[in-house]
Amino acid sequence: MNKQYQSLFEDFTFKSGVRLKNRVLMAPMTNFASDDDGMVTDEELAYYKERAGGVGALVTAVAYVTPGGKGFVNEISAASDATIPSLRKLADTIKGEGAKAILQIFHAGRMAPPELLPDNQPTSASAVAPLRPDALVPRELEDQEIKSIINDFAQATRRAIEAGFDGVEIHGANTYLIQQFFSPHSNRRTDQWGGTLEKRMTFPLAVIDAVKQSVSEHANEPFIVGYRLSPEEAENPGITIDDTLAFADELSKQDLDYLHISVQDFWQGSMRDDEDKKSRILKIHERIGDQLPIIGVGSLYSAEDVKSAIDTGVPLIALGRELIVDPKWVEKLESGEEDAIQTTLTKADQERLVVPNTLWQAITNTPGWFPVVDK
């Protein structure tokens, strides 16, 4: 290994006691590869097996915690005990290659495609449609439904524990239900679940409490609980960085293992203020990083990119698209072959890269999403 990259391969122990062998994780990415009932397929297992050898931990594609929160076609399910054997296959596959296995769990809220839902009706904090073409107005959740969804997160956590996962990541980012409760755009409530900034934190904090209680009741070994958030929204009203910093202060008190910041680019500045160029990740890290470890992510393709990011003091880095383009990214760096890391792919590479069919079609037919070259 080139000595300049040594810091990426130092181990890291979370507050829970779970130890990672290095500082690089695989970021959660939807792969559209489970079956219609949300059971993991052989195609999906092969995809993860190919990528679980080098990273310290692998965060799975998101799993829905209740049928009313399904967000994607052929998404992983953690919504009933019938899914536990399927989830166990996934955990065993990831852990069998040497990575810690973390199941990401969520509810899509108003972003759920109606055709995927039992009653074809998305729900959210308030009856406010997302700002996208042809979006349905969601039905506002009732108090008892909110409490039921909180319990769904707890039950999904129990299933992850019984399936042998090393942790869960609560998906509070990317405009899904937990973020919808925190956002002043999607949450116009005036009861205990909304109104002031503090009340908009109530649902996310209740989910965290329920997940942690489930861990306390069911886990016999150290178990990771992480949280993912998006730092800003473009909508007006929408989440501001000041909102997020106040929320981060509260999250730092929740006995979490990490806070994973969801952005397209590690160095990205504000999406609301063109004058504010400072990385959102670094703003949050500087605010609470001494209390809650931050995972940084976003367009870090080369070894030099990742080294520059971790040199900021952010302790953990997640790679997403990079591990699709080159599943052996980490192994190559560790063995001193960083010059062999692939940063582009061709339309003929699906079999070599072990990518599920639907995901591959999305990769090769969405211009600008992946670095696809002719040869």
DSSP 169: E
Asked whether 125 and 190 are in contact (CB, 8 A), the reply is: no
- The predicted pLDDT at position 375 comes to 76
Mean pLDDT computed over 112-125: 97
What pTM was estimated for this model as a whole? 0.98
Count of other CB atoms within 10 angstroms of residue 305: 18
Q: Which residue, 166, 170, 196, 169, is CA-closest to 182?
A: 196
Residue 91 has pLDDT above 90, yes or no: yes
Residues contacting 99, CB < 8 A, separation 6+: 26, 52, 53, 54, 55, 56, 57, 58
d(CA 16, CA 2): 31
Mean pLDDT computed over 355-372: 95
Domain map of the chain by residue range?
Answer: 3-346
- The predicted pLDDT at position 168 comes to 99
pLDDT tens digits along 195-222: 999 999 999 999 999 999 999 999 999 9
d(CA 337, CA 334): 7
Mean pLDDT computed over 8-24: 98
pLDDT tens digits along 129-157: 999 888 999 999 999 999 999 999 999 99
Q: Give the rounded percent of residues in the chain with a pLDDT score beyond 90.
A: 98
Helix 84-96 and helix 42-51: axis angle, to 10°? 30
- The predicted pLDDT at position 134 comes to 87
Q: Give the rounded percent of residues in the chain with a pLDDT score beyond 70.
A: 100
Kindly indicate the confidence band of residue 75, based on its pLDDT and cuts at 50, 70 and 90: very high
Q: Residue 128's beta-bridge partner residues?
A: none
pLDDT tens digits along 290-319: 999 999 999 999 999 999 999 999 999 999
C-alpha distances out from residue 177 to 8, 14, 124, 128, Å: 34, 27, 6, 12
Q: Which residue, 148, 40, 59, 149, is CA-closest to 99?
A: 59
Count of other CB atoms within 10 angstroms of residue 183: 24
- The predicted pLDDT at position 1 comes to 81
Amino acid at site 284: I
Rounded to a whole number, what is the largest CA-CA distance in the chain?
57
Q: Average pLDDT of the chain?
A: 97
Tell me which CATH code domain 3-346 carries.
3.20.20.70
pLDDT tens digits along 311-360: 999 999 999 999 999 999 999 999 999 999 999 999 999 999 999 999 99
pLDDT tens digits along 261-272: 999 999 999 999
pLDDT tens digits along 240-293: 999 999 999 999 999 999 999 999 999 999 999 999 999 999 999 999 999 999
Q: What is the DSSP secondary-structure string of 260-299?
A: EE--S-TT---SS-TT--S-HHHHHHHHHTTTSPEEEESS
